[in-house]
A and B are shown apart, each in its own frame.
Chain A
């Protein structure tokens, strides 16, 4: 657990969040990260997702639902789609590196809830295993999760057990694929690469380089 290393002075509030979650969930609280007086990230196991939501709402007092979504941590096989379509595709790293509060799976569901009386927010993440791409729904905890879960379902293909109505939110009903997955190609870009990505004109007299010298 990384929260010991971050036990900096001055943020009992956010440490209270982590300890409350640890008390309630035990080993299901996998990791946490506190930036003192700024923000807090916690990661729970996929099974404890709904339970964690309840704890956040009832014990921690985060009764305001901000958003729910997911991240695909796999690096995009298409890079930033800046390749020349006629040249062979360059080699790219396929190593999956998760962000704050770590992780062990390609997909993570994450959500943010806010405590309106004490003025802080919590970002909570949960690993979603590739083989069973589903977590429990948050609708019983936060009713507003309904649409967010629908959006997440169509964009990432992550199921939400217990959700009554996982229809597509934005896409046509017969749309194939999950657009926000990194391996879903942005076709417009692949056919015609965007010229602007590395569009850096040297300033007259400037000594800019790729590393970004100060102008």
Chain B
């Protein structure tokens, strides 16, 4: 820990708060503009927004401005306090998630040994928010959507937990920072040119994790809780104005954060293979990595978010029972077998 400047505690806190906001909002904005506006449009043989700013890059601000101007409607029969709080609960879970993601050797918000456990725990807070929204809207579509969401999110929590267990076994730690460092300092059969990103051995785990993420984010093909052609956006039906905006931001910010987590767990996170620069431990890492790390993370995040969005634009949606069956009969057994094999190899080698 040889920082060039000493930042006072209040400064560190301020940086963390600002950094957290940026880490949540920036991916959300980029994902929305780059993938939702542009990539989707090009896939659908159209141009997407072109008027606001060069290539429509200011469209996002126009959209935000539009939503902020709209009336904040609460249905007369709704459970008003719960209804109003629900989008915030969903957004809070996103912020809590980003807290444990490391962006560099010292650029992290917080770091503790139960990081992964904490991440899996707080990611299910959004389920609570969605269920609150669905129940309090006093709308049958919302209720159906909320119940579907609860069923789906709980079902896919399990394969998600099980799929990261392989990583935990390999790294021998639940600390996300440790996992990143392990991946970048280890070697594959003595060759350390690439470090040891766990996607190499945990490819099945990676797949299961990404599928579960897709489901946790309720993105197509797992968007049965939203299903705009069927439940008219499910639990979001009754929301308008900035509350809808919060749901919207939360949806894409969570996509970004899960992409960050996936890159930490499977792609080596902020690190570049330490052998390239002759680092052997955390302390010997050069200081500029605190700046380069976040950029590396963002690059990896964009690739993974791009895949998430690509799948979203291409597939029709599963039916509720089909996606439950997929979780319980395919993903969970596969990840259990993965854990078993990982454990055996861990002991054997």
Is there a direct interface between A and B, measured as CB atoms under 8 Å apart in the complex?
no
Binding site for B on A (CB under 8 A): none
